[in-house]
Chains A and B, each alone.
Chain A
Amino acid sequence: GENVEQHPSTLSVQEGDSAVIKCTYSDSASNYFPWYKQELGKGPQLIIDIRSNVGEKKDQRIAVTLNKTAKHFSLHITETQPEDSAVYFCAASIRGGGNQFYFGTGTSLTVIP
């Protein structure tokens, strides 16, 4: 099955700095890569996603890049704010292949005011 690895497990940045979280996957058939933000006591919420036919996608301060050859994808958050503090999860899935999402182990991001 698919194996998704995520680094780092914890990340602290000063407000206004950038944060980068990296994930690798093992199954070359995976073609859909979502990122989720989880706040304390809540369920994960999708913040951005990318499909394998795209190398980069941006939504305001958040961007995701994908390198299919190396099987890795990254989340970039620019101009971080205290409200960005949360746990972030990457995942991999085969679009149209059912309902099996494989998650990374999460990154706890702290933005220091």
Chain B
Amino acid sequence: NAGVTQTPKFQVLKTGQSMTLQCAQDMNHEYMSWYRQDPGMGLRLIHYSVGAGITDQGEVPNGYNVSRSTTEDFPLRLLSAAPSQTSVYFCASTGTGGTDTQYFGPGTRLTVL
């Protein structure tokens, strides 16, 4: 098992550009989430999904879109990048059926100029 994978590892964007952060898991987990991590603020939930075709907003959803067409993939789209979106982004997946262990990917470090 590769676990949770994220691409790219690093990305630099200019203000107004769009891009998609990729996330995939091979553990057949139903639950997947996107977090952003900023200094002194811990991890904040952007969007999450409880299964294919179902997504919902977290604490800080503005400026981001998600979709979940398959169980394995959960991409995060930045529609028009802003400097305030400079952050480290983590994707996570959680198993169901008796366990709540959340597995995180290695992260994407995004800089918006």
Contacts and interface: CB of A to CB of B under 8 A. Distances in A.
B104 A105 contact: no
> How would you classify the secondary structure of chain B's contact residues: helix, strand, loop or mixed?
strand
A43 B105 contact: yes
B111 interface: no
Interface residues of A, number: 26
Interface string A1-34: 1001010010000000000000000000000101
A49 B101 CA distance: 9
Most chain B CB inside 10 Å of its own CB: which residue of A32, A43, A49, A100: A43
A46 B48 contact: no
Interface residues of B, number: 28
B2 interface: no
Contacts of A106: 40, 42
A49 B99 CA distance: 11
Contact of B50 (A6, A9, A34, A98): A98
Contact of B43 (A9, A45, A95, A103): A103
Contact of B42 (A6, A45, A95, A99): A6
A45 B92 CA distance: 10
B106 interface: yes
A95 B31 CA distance: 12
A89 B106 contact: no
Nearest to A44: B104
B12 interface: no
Given A34-B101, A49-B101, A106-B40, 10 more contacts: A41-B106, A43-B90, A43-B104, A44-B104, A99-B49, A99-B94, A100-B58, A101-B33, A105-B40, A105-B41
21 contacts: A4-B42, A9-B40, A34-B102, A41-B107, A44-B43, A44-B104, A49-B101, A89-B42, A89-B43, A95-B100, A99-B31, A99-B32, A99-B48, A101-B43, A101-B45, A103-B42, A103-B43, A103-B44, A105-B41, A105-B42, A106-B40
